Amino acid sequence: MTIDNTNGGTDSRSGADTDADTDGGRAAAKPNPSRRSEQSRRAILTAARELVSELGFAKLTIEAIAARAGVGKQTIYRWWGSKGEVVFEAFLALSDPGEGIVLPDTGDVETDLKYLMRETVAEFADPAFEAPVRALNAEIINDPKLARLYHEKMAAPVDEAKKERLRSAQRAGQIAADVDLDLALELLYAPLYQRWLLRSGPLTEEYADSLVALTLKALRP
Amino acid sequence: MTIDNTNGGTDSRSGADTDADTDGGRAAAKPNPSRRSEQSRRAILTAARELVSELGFAKLTIEAIAARAGVGKQTIYRWWGSKGEVVFEAFLALSDPGEGIVLPDTGDVETDLKYLMRETVAEFADPAFEAPVRALNAEIINDPKLARLYHEKMAAPVDEAKKERLRSAQRAGQIAADVDLDLALELLYAPLYQRWLLRSGPLTEEYADSLVALTLKALRP
Amino acid sequence: MTIDNTNGGTDSRSGADTDADTDGGRAAAKPNPSRRSEQSRRAILTAARELVSELGFAKLTIEAIAARAGVGKQTIYRWWGSKGEVVFEAFLALSDPGEGIVLPDTGDVETDLKYLMRETVAEFADPAFEAPVRALNAEIINDPKLARLYHEKMAAPVDEAKKERLRSAQRAGQIAADVDLDLALELLYAPLYQRWLLRSGPLTEEYADSLVALTLKALRP
Amino acid sequence: MTIDNTNGGTDSRSGADTDADTDGGRAAAKPNPSRRSEQSRRAILTAARELVSELGFAKLTIEAIAARAGVGKQTIYRWWGSKGEVVFEAFLALSDPGEGIVLPDTGDVETDLKYLMRETVAEFADPAFEAPVRALNAEIINDPKLARLYHEKMAAPVDEAKKERLRSAQRAGQIAADVDLDLALELLYAPLYQRWLLRSGPLTEEYADSLVALTLKALRP
DNA sequence: CGGTAAACGAGACGGTACGTCAAGTCTTGAT
DNA sequence: ATCAAGACTTGACGTACCGTCTCGTTTACCG
């Protein structure tokens, strides 16, 4: 984890709105982040992570998080705006890779993509991954703010690494130079993700291979 | 979301299920579907539909449905196993097209697909469509049973129509004959759906066009 | 203290009130007393009585009453407006003597009053009596509604019995015929009650005797 | 209500107490009264007084006092043991007459007492007097320590002045020489006080007059 | 007269209880 | 027997204060 600044990351109030926040007269209190207990923060995040795995997101309660963390409920409400935010930050802390992500590059884009996609299929089959990620996605559907955070903090770094691999393929002449890489990524991953998330079909390695093959046909120069 | 009730299924209308069930000694009640009040059923479904649009799924309550429908809570619990089931059946009743769906076929698959995709983009931008469909998808994520029902009752017929159009394109030599049409459909729709559902990017007509163009490149003979 | 319910009183059993209340439009719910659970009511009252004795009124909580009574909090909030009302009704149920109170009448008013007053002194010294009655009085000070109820339901019958004894003394020529009996009663009891309630002095049998002697001097024909 | 704090008393000014206390090893802090901020003390007392009038004692909170006084909560907890103590000292500071109280003495005890009692009746009717005094009395009921303090610091001086007037009447032969003046005072005031405090009856000037007349009958030589 | 320990304002903390809401179950007439 | 109505137990909600515990920041005493 990178050294934290005052903001701390998930702070919901620093939302999309332009936080000039001169506070013309709002009654709401503004907790001072510099006095925040790092110990409590970590205990809450840990408890949240554990409980999501144990109960699933829907059955998770703020009270249970507070109890497990040995923390007053107010300490949660003071720093997070919803159950979703807590859980999201818990995931964020977990998944934070620290530095850059580098994907394998054997020189053959098809080989590498098939490897990546098979890996993703395997990951989706892991029950420890399943519950929390489903929970997060279900929340994202109904919470634009969370969606934005998710894409900024969690998806973007990974996507950037994948696009870097595609750029390398472009340089190698394996993919057309004028292809929109964002679109290309969606073509590759969205079908897979959707099958898993919405259970619209079986997820096998063969499926992953077919998907890569078909997509690469579209991307070829 | 909850495991299940005695009924064993969401579809309350399929009374002819496996209801041989002479019940050897279980204490649980077995409501007799033949005595069911059709009027109450419709009032509940209508109330559910209205309330999902007004409040969203998360803020929808069984009590509110019962109140709006002028119905006792027990009448809902008697025939449905969860909030999700009620709402799903409400959608189902709404979207039921009765008979087959036929998509336009001008002879040029690119034209037709672009039209279809632009139409989908427009539909996704309609607020009246937004709330309930997001709600349904959020539930599907965490409820395999609901997912199965959704794909069987709602998605399948539409998908079949789309595949029929692709088959027509295959016959016209515009799409390779050996393409897996399910996969093709996913390539086309999953990126669009994901952008909307998970808010991973802007949804424009240009995007739809690019998506069709790129996908068709993959499908070409 | 609390606003009020339509009933306007603590005694929930007196359904025959003046309940003209056609309800012009208030949104508040009106629970139907005929469906009330007598078992829960009694459990609540019993728990309240016990807990006041154990903890005192100030440390008594609605939650504790509900827990001890094996009852949901809502069931308390549904039928009573405040902690004070519950406790008051608990006392009321306890102290209800059913029928009329008759005080001893030896023919000599001084003897009888001294006996009565000494009895009162003894009662005040009983710890089981102390906590709840202090609690009730403390509430009465700040709650006019409760005060009215107290005087109507609990004090009035006892006072009437005492006045009857004084009337007997008037007939016997031991007390002036034109004395205001309410005032006489206050002269007798208020000093004693105040010493106990506000702890303004020691409560002894000698004090009771002196008080009776002095008061009777004032009441003599 | 709570037993006590280290300080041992409500009167924070009596710094010279039993403060030999060299403290052999207790960990508890001993705030040094000489460093106490007189400004904060006054702000707290003022805030307490205002807030009791505005909200009543029950709804008064330490936090509100601290906020209104512009003071940290700890500053209150450092010097007082309970809400009751703060409020009591606030009253005490208010009512402190500085020096001795002298009551009118026209030579006729009945005239003077009726005047005094009517004045008391008027005082009781003043809403500014009502809230805080009721609050104080309600606390006294459940707090022996507060009761003792009240009688010592607030009641005693006034009672002494009244007894002085009665002594004067004894000297003038208007009251029997052997009358217990404490008892006499109670006979006079307790009925009035009780009517007001427990709302047991209307408080009028006529009532005050009758009370004086009847009591004097008991006190006559 | 400058250093230092206290008291101070502020407010975050672990808690308890509040009064409300809804869940799902159970009971009572009415149809 | 199902229905509308709604009281019931349960449990979580989000809020208000509790009394304790740091935080810097004055303040006043003492060396």
**What would the pLDDT profile of C138-192 be if each residue is shown by its tens digit?**
888 988 888 888 898 889 999 999 999 999 999 999 999 999 999 999 999 999 9
Q: Which two tokens stand for residue B47?
A: 């109330």
Q: Is the pLDDT of residue D155 over 50?
A: yes
As ranges, strand F nucleotides with an atom below 7 A of a protein CB are 1-24, 28-29
Residue of chain A whose Cα is closest to the Cα of B213: A218
Instruction: Give DSSP secondary structure letters for D90-111.
Output: HHHHHH--SS-------S-HHH
Q: Is the pLDDT of residue C3 over 70?
A: no
What's the rounded Cα separation, in Å, for the pair A206 and C148? 83
pLDDT band at B131 (very low <50, low <70, confident <90, very high): confident
CATH of domain C33-95: 1.10.10.60
Lowest mean pLDDT among A8-17, B55-64, B133-142, C86-95: A8-17
Q: Is the pLDDT of residue C22 over 80?
A: no
Q: What are the two backbone dihedrals, phi and then psi, of residue A203, each rounded to the nearest 5 degrees?
A: -110, 105
Nucleotide nearest to C29 (CA to C1'): F6
User: Do B109-219 and B34-95 have the same topology in CATH?
Assistant: no
CA quadruple B123, B124, B127, B133: dihedral positive or negative?
positive
Q: Is the pLDDT of residue C81 over 60?
A: yes
Interface test with D, best of C182, C187, C209, C215 (most D CBs within 10 A): C187
CATH of domain D109-219: 1.10.357.10
Q: Which two tokens stand for residue D41?
A: 């003390």
What's the rounded Cα separation, in Å, for the pair B88 and B136? 7
Distance D72 CA to E11 C1' (A): 9
Residue nearest to nucleotide E25 (CA to C1'): B74
**What would the pLDDT profile of C198-221 be if each residue is shown by its tens digit?**
999 999 999 999 999 999 999 998
Distant-in-sequence, close-in-space partners of B220: CB < 8 Å, separation ≥ 6? B174, B175, B176
Arithmetic mean of pLDDT over chain C: 85
Distance C72 CA to F9 C1' (A): 5
What's the rounded Cα separation, in Å, for the pair D42 and D46? 6
Domain ranges of chain A: 36-87, 109-219
Q: Which subunits count as partners of chain B given 3+ CB pairs below 8 Å?
A: A
Given 1.10.10.60, 1.10.645.10, 3.90.1010.10, 3.40.50.880, which CATH number is that of D37-95?
1.10.10.60
The average pLDDT across D36-58 equals 93
CATH of domain B34-95: 1.10.10.60
Nearest CA-CA partner of B112 in B169, B54, B170: B169
What's the rounded Cα separation, in Å, for the pair B62 and C189? 59
Q: Are C58 and D138 in contact (CB < 8 Å)? A: no
Nearest CA-CA partner of B86 in B41, B55, B117: B41
Distance A68 CA to E22 C1' (A): 24
User: Residues 172..201 of C with a Cβ closer than 8 Å to D: which?
Assistant: 179-180, 182-184, 186-187, 190-191, 193-195, 197-201
More confident residue, C42 or A56: C42
Chain mean position to CA C153: 7
What's the rounded Cα separation, in Å, for the pair C199 and C216? 24
- Is C124 near chain D, with CB under 8 Å? no
SS3 A164: helix
Q: Give me the count of residues in chain B.
A: 221
In chain C, what is the greatest distance between 2 CA atoms, to the nearest angstrom?
60
Given 1.10.1660.10, 1.10.10.60, 1.10.1740.10, 3.40.1710.10, which CATH number is that of A36-87?
1.10.10.60
Q: Which of B36-40, B92-96, C64-68, C78-82 has the largest mean confidence? A: C64-68
pLDDT band at D99 (very low <50, low <70, confident <90, very high): low
Q: Which two tokens stand for residue A122?
A: 């395997």
